[in-house]
Chains A and B, each alone.
Chain A
Amino acid sequence: MYRSQKDYYALLGVLRDASMEEIKRAYYEAAQRLHPDKNKLAGETEIFLEIQQAYEVLSNPKRRSQYDATLSKEDAPPAIIQQKVLYSRPNLVRLNEPQLIYVLLEASPRQVDEKIPAPPLNICLVLDRSTSMQGEKIDMVKAAAIQIMQSLRAEDIFSLVVFSDRAEVLIPSAYQSDRIKLAARIQMIRPGGSTEIYQGLEAGFNEVRRSLDPKRVNHVLLLTDGHTYGDEQACIQLAEEAGRLNIGISGFGIGSDWNDIFLDALAGRTGSNSTYISKPQDIQRLLVDKFNALANTFAEDVILEFKEGAAVELNYAFRLQPEGGPIAIEELLHLGPIMQDTPLNVLFEFLVQPSASKADMVTLLDGALKLVITARPIPIPPIRLKLEREVGETPQNDPPPPAILNALSRFTLYRMQERAHEEAEAKNFDTATRHLKNLASLLLTQGEKDLAKTALLEAENMERLKAFSQEGGKEIKYGTRALLLSATENLQ
């Protein structure tokens, strides 16, 4: 049981020490979603009334303290997810120079008596049909779209948008029963025109929003093979809006001509990621895998609201699984989804300045994890996350936890290719070449022979042509990313 009596804090989704400001904000957010004028589902009005009651108590300081007195410390509701935190070092050291510390966070569903059912979907496929998709690519995309449509369950909502320089809603968002007719419609897709991602993305976003339902996995799958020009900023803004509404966007790039950095940034705004499809034969498998993963979602996007400690910087955040990818460091971190069978693993790198290490205890980060359990719209209380370490005079030489060591050894590979990209961007071609050569030999020692070869070839390209080849750059990026997934297998 996760809520025996009415917990007003849980209803509003705030911590017990929440400020008046936070309580107000939480109430307005809930009201926007659940107000009787707006809600759609049976039971939501009742939830809204409870939330209103909670707000009336908690917004009044006197009534709040009376209510608080009835709460004992122990009956804080058991969290519906469990989290585990590992640090790379048992303590920080008092130093006159900056130091690093790594933290690995794992969040997984708590085993509860009640089985949470697989959530129904509300998804939209947004497919690029520009001229460059001609031939095998468009054929494979059609086959994938038809396979996905065939495997929809009766309770799933599906829509399909095709776009080039303009978008067309081929299948409007709805429960789909006449699948033969839809398959025929998909078969009719003909390539032509240029690529303007915003057109397609907006149409897809609108389709998903039309059927938006917190009990569903609401998701846009964007598939493209090209660059978009001039509308990147508009796309990112749309993705931010999607992130706020808990609509996921994942990107699929076919071949070598698409913009991986852009697609990663786009998907990252919603806690999702981009996937590299090197050859058309892989389109169907990768799209269908993603579709199956969506139906296995436990919480679609875990959000970390946080403050860094004084003189501490969060340098880097990276999701190891599910779906490895960088996490954009913004006011809120979209950490990514928790799957029913796969926990969320995030690796953080903190830079601690000397002034912080003067104290005996350093707070690295203080915040709360917020999430919505798909298939259950009742808000759950945020989960406090406070990362802190003691400061000692001397380092303790305990070996780091194997899980963090293992993850970091693979993460180092990804970071090296990223540095090579950064150096190439800054026109330091010699440094970029050196990074690639080092990466190649490191990959060799880890037995990744093919990827090592690619890295060596790219080192040559960098030396001679002062650039990555489009293909090789992506091979290495997504190849080292895939290695991270294999690193997390034995984390449990």
Chain B
Amino acid sequence: MIVCSNCKHNNMTGAMFCTECGASLGRADTTTTQTIKADNLREPVKNKGILSPPPAVMVKNWVTLHLMDTGQVLPLAERSEFTIGRISEGQPIMPDIDLSPYQAYANGVSRLHAVIKREASHIFLMDLDSANGTYVNGKRLNPNVEHTLKNGDVVALGKLKIQILLKA
């Protein structure tokens, strides 16, 4: 028997996804939220504010999020699409990237705020009809419309500012 770690439902041995909540029961998990922990992070970048050339990033990252208020950088790799938001207790909504450790609530980040994805050599950002909107270089995006990102673009989820660093 396998007990689902998400909802505690008992599943039969050999099941790969929970029959109750649909969560993956396995090891190589592709869909759970990655709460970014300190050891995933690079050294905080010293100078706050706009960065010019990105610091050397790991080869596999296709985009790095630079949180401008705290100076932390979040390299994203492996998957080609990440939903961004914050986890709030008692809600089943699980974004791929949880920004709650970075004052997401205070800055008006929705639980499921935006999605960033890669298609061929293009990187797109799409607002998921968030309450406080998504801005690129100060311009508000229409919800559910993909917007192409360039290296150095400053994205604001509500008031949380993130600079986009693309691999050169």
Contacts and interface: CB of A to CB of B under 8 A. Distances in A.
Partners in one complex: yes
Interface in B74-114: 81, 83, 92-96, 112
Contacts of B20: 435, 438
A391 to B, nearest CB: 12
A418 to B, nearest CB: 11
Contacts of A131: none
B131 interface: no
Contacts of A99: 12-14
Given A399-B27, A445-B94, A447-B81, A412 B17 contact: yes
Given A444-B112, A446-B31, A447-B83, A88 B16 contact: yes
A445 B82 CA distance: 9
Nearest to A404: B16
Q: Is the interface of B mostly helix, strand, loop or mixed?
A: loop
A97 B1 contact: yes
B14 A445 contact: no
B21 interface: yes
Contact of A438 (B13, B21, B95, B128): B21
Interface in A433-452: 435, 437-439, 441-442, 444-447, 449
B15 A100 contact: yes
A99 B11 CA distance: 9
B137 interface: no
B92 A441 contact: yes
A408 B17 contact: yes
A449 B126 CA distance: 12
Contacts of A449: 112, 128-129, 144
13 contacts: A92-B14, A95-B13, A100-B12, A100-B13, A100-B14, A100-B15, A409-B30, A442-B21, A442-B22, A444-B83, A446-B31, A447-B83, A449-B144
A413 interface: yes
Contacts of A95: 13
B168 interface: no
A379 to B, nearest CB: 38
A102 interface: yes
Closest 7 CB pairs of A and B: A100-B14, A441-B92, A99-B13, A412-B17, A399-B28, A442-B22, A99-B14
A355 to B, nearest CB: 15
A405 interface: yes
B26 interface: yes
Interface string A78-114: 0000000000110011010111111000000000000
Given A95-B13, A100-B15, A445 B93 contact: yes
A484 B46 CA distance: 46
B19 interface: yes
A437 B22 CA distance: 11
B126 to A, nearest CB: 9
Given A442-B21, A444-B93, A445-B83, A88 B14 contact: yes
A397 interface: yes
Nearest to A413: B22
Contacts of A148: none
A101 B1 CA distance: 13
Contacts of A98: 12-13
Contacts of A400: 16, 26, 28
A384 interface: no
B16 A405 contact: yes
